[in-house]
Structure 1
Amino acid sequence: MIRLPRLAPLLGAAALSASITAACTPQSQTAPTEKEVSSALVNNVVLPSYQKLVAATENLKEDLNKFAKDPTDANLEAARKQWKTTRKTWEITETWAYGPAETDGFDPNLDDWPVSRKELAQALDESNFSKTTFADLDTTGRGFHGIEYVLFGDGGQAVSAASMTPPQLLYLQIAGEDLEQNAKGLLAAWSGDEGFGKADVEADPSKTVSDILEGMTGCLDEVANGKLGAALEAGKDELESTFSGNTGSDVVSNLKGVRLAWKESKLQALVKAQDEEIAKALTDQLNAAIDLAKALPKRLNDKIDDPATREQIEDLQAAIMAALETTTAVSEKIG
């Protein structure tokens, strides 16, 4: 883990929990049960989010097919726009990217990073590129970022409709179909009586509460230390979604996903019934972090070396780490 700047004023998780507990008074609110939290996570958060992902990947597949069959600049721009729209529906799910996303390989199939530029470039240089060629690619040559690499280019020579080769156009069609199928597979893995949602998550409500908090802390840590911290240390090539300049949007969606899991799973209400002050603190910290993320430059990769932008990123890191410490305190309190 990268040691972040400007974090000295933050309270440690244990100290924060102790100070808030001492300050609060008993609450008369009726808390949702762990079973209700478990059910809400599956039915109010996870399944609707994956349904939106499936719908968005279907739209992206259609736009990629349209562009491949009629490679105009207008169709290229439409495909790029839909890629960014679809990207949001995936990035918001990072907090609950456990279970089938890990065990069945959907996460790397959809979102492996960084792109294996050399492998992908070599494959696309083959005149006989086919579905077999695509299937032989590592996950770092497929998914969101493989499509992004072909649609937007790697930041070198400008990409236009006229510059697209037949292998690249075929790749986009195959990759769009593959992305959609993985999104559908992930939704199916969570659905139904035998799916992960009911058979695993709802079947073990007490574990669900811990899993939500673990997912929140994991996502907050990844954004602060991985997506942002690594880029501050090593430069813009470490920024995920750098080809499209979409890093800032990714970060906003990640943080919105943390807030969605916190609120819509009823975990916030569960914690509030025990300690209203700590629940409010975490909600306020998540809102503050999202506001700071929204204020980042649109193309963060073009501004990463600007001192003012770096200060913005450091402020955002500090806000995220404050939310992470409070999440840890919540976990210690109710765990």
Structure 2
Amino acid sequence: MKKSAIFLSSIAVAALSFTSCSDNDESTETVDPNADLYTEVLTDVSLDVITETYNSLYTNAGILETAVSNLTIGDETELSAVKTAWQNTRAPWEESEGFLYGPVDTEGIDPAIDSWPVDVNAINNILNSGNAITSTLLESNNEARGFHTIEYFIWGLDGNKTAADLTTREIEYLTAATQNLKAQTEDLYFGWLATGDNFAFNFTNAGETGSIYTSQKGALQEIVEGLVIIADEVANGKIEEPLNGNNGSAKPEAEESRFSNNSKLDFADNIRSIQNIYLGDFNGNNGNGITNVVDLTNATLDAQIKTAISDAITAIEAIPGTFTDAIENNRTAVQNAQTKVADLLTVLESDLVPFITNL
């Protein structure tokens, strides 16, 4: 299933308003008493969570590229290193799917690295052609590059590929695909850096000149809409389609990371993406998140959201065995996980979004 494009949510009207003129015809600006808190939240989320997640993605993509450069036919240790590097790169990507706005959307990076399903015919045509396989060559087809193309080559269609099954041409393709992936993650990371395109500026300076967000509330709305989008995708796309896509029965071919059996971790990391943004925490950075805004006036809702996030992650991780097997043989556990993610979606959509809208 090829992902739909994620569009920027509508921008809220400016949060600053002005009072009537005084006797001296001087206007007095009314400042939101929580403006400083909003600045801290927007700064910590954009710099310490979003940018740092992309930093991990870029760093790990480089390690994956190096692992592939060391790959030789028949060496299981080297192939195992590539698989581990793929999983380590996949994790921060899945943990970024709660914020698919900015360069990942406007520069077409999401479909370039995470389109599904792979185009096996296109891949075979490239393999069987006489052309050198380069990163540039792969730019023409998103379904023949990115995470799942790399996954397909290193695990195989049935997940049982060995190093002896590799060919010289496949390693050439893998080299190009990992180079392309690293280039995309570099563009993404540098797109948020102050020394790059500095998309983070739009959040840290929301409501100020130069930011695309005309108010801090507009920036906060963008953030919470991103959380809703990924919760909806996990519950009603990533789980639903393989679970019930065959007229209410399992549809294994619709499972996104089925070659590597990485799907459960994908889903849990998607919910961790929500958790990281909500708490303002990532990889040892413990900052301000949306929780700080909510807890200020509604501690009950804050606790409800935190519990819903935790319950969803726990239920996904409790699915026995592989997701491929579970959609056939442990459907109740999969349905429970789907319900918990749907419960999270409900509280985000029905309670958190209105809360932020009414700030």
* TM-score, length basis structure 1: 0.85
Could you tell me whether the CA contact under 8 Å between 1:119 and 1:137 is conserved in 2?
no
How far off its partner does 1:150 sit? 0.6
The CA distance in 2 between the partners of 1:216 and 1:289, in whole Å, is 13
In the alignment, the residues of structure 2 paired with residue 32 and residue 248 of structure 1 have an alpha-carbon distance, to the nearest angstrom, of 39
SS at match of 2:70: helix
Residue 251 of structure 1 deviates from its aligned partner by 0.5
Matched, 1:124 2:145: no
Match of 2:262 among 234, 243, 246: 246
Is 2:313 the counterpart of 1:297?
no
What residue identity is the alignment partner of 2:92? T
Q: Distance in 1 between matches of 2:41 and 2:192?
A: 16
CA–CA distance in structure 1, aligned partners of residues 130 and 71 of structure 2: 19
Task: Give the corresponding residue for 2:354.
Answer: 332
Partner amino acid, structure 2, of 1:215: G
What is the one-letter code of the residue matched to 1:52?
A: S
Q: Is the 8 A contact 2:91 2:269 kept in 1?
A: yes
2:342 aligned residue? 321
Structure with the largest fraction of helix: 1
Task: Give per-residue Cα distances to partners, 1:59-98, cap 9 Å, x unaligned.
Answer: 1111111114x65122111111211121111100000121
- AA paired with 2:344? A
Deviation at residue 295 of structure 1 after TM alignment: 1.3
Partner of 2:114 in structure 1? 111
Gaps of 5+ in 1: 1-29
Partners of 1:116 and 1:92 lie apart in 2 by 25
Cα deviation, 1:205-259, whole Å, max 9, x if unaligned, reads 2222101110110000000000000111221111111111110010011011111
Higher deviation after alignment, 286-295 or 297-306: 297-306
Q: Does structure 1 residue 51 correspond to structure 2 residue 73?
A: no
Residue 18 of structure 1 corresponds to: none
Equivalent residue runs for 1:41-120 within 5 Å: 41-68=45-72, 71-120=74-123
Percent identity over the alignment is 25
Distance in 1 between the 2:182 and 2:136 partners?
19
User: Is the 1:42–1:201 contact (alpha carbons within 8 Å) kept by the matching residues of 2?
Assistant: yes
For structure 2, list consecutive stretches of 5 or more residues without a partner in the other structure.
1-33, 207-215, 246-250, 281-287
Task: Confirm or deny: 8 A CA contact 1:245 1:300 kept in the other structure.
Answer: yes
1:111-136 per-residue CA deviation (whole Å, 9 max, x = no partner) reads 11111122112222335442278335
1:272 pairs, out of 273, 283, 295, with 295
Structure 1: distance between partners of 2:146 and 2:309: 29
**Hey, what's the Cα distance between the residues in 1 that align with 2:162 and 2:189?**
34
Q: TM-score normalized by structure 2?
A: 0.80
SS in 2 for 1:304: helix
1:310 maps onto 2:331 in alignment? yes
Letter in 2 for 1:333: F
Deviations 1:262-297 (A, max 9, x none): 110521011011100001001011001111111123
Report what 2:19 is aligned to.
none
Give the whole-Å Cα distance in 2 for the aligned partners of 1:160 and 1:191.
40
Give the alignment's Cα RMSD to 1 decimal.
Answer: 1.9
| Whole-angstrom distance in 2 between the partners of 1:113 and 1:212 | 25
Equivalent in the alignment of 2:17: none
User: Which residue identity is paired with 1:67?
Assistant: L
Larger Rg: 2
Q: Give CA deviations for 1:19-39 in whole Å, capped at 9, x if unaligned.
A: xxxxxxxxxxx8962222211
The higher-RCO structure (CA 8 Å, 6+ apart) is: 1
CA pair 127-85 structure 1, distance change in 2 beyond 3 A: same
Shift in CA distance, 133/275, structure 1 to aligned 2, threshold 3 Å: closer
User: Within 2, Cα distance between the matches of 1:300 and 1:151?
Assistant: 19
Task: State the distance in 2 between where 1:111 and 1:279 align.
Answer: 32
- 1:171 pairs with one of 154, 170, 173: 173
SS of the aligned residue for 2:171 comes to helix
Give the match's secondary structure for 2:199: helix
| Alpha-carbon distance in 2 for matches of 1:132, 1:258 | 32
Aligned residue type for 1:258: I
Per-residue deviation, residues 172-224 of structure 1 (Å, max 9, x unmatched): 11111111111111011111166343332223222221011101100000000
Letter in 2 for 1:268: T
Q: Secondary structure at the match of 1:101?
A: helix
Q: Give, in whole Å, the separation in 2 of the partners of 1:133 and 1:266.
A: 39
The Cα of 1:333 is off from its aligned counterpart by: 2.0
The separation in 2 between residues aligned to 1:47 and 1:202, in whole angstroms, is 12
> Deviating runs (4+, > 6 A) in structure 1?
none
Q: Tell me the equivalent position of 1:209.
A: 220
Task: Find the aligned partners of 1:194 and 1:169 in 2 and give their Cα distance.
Answer: 32
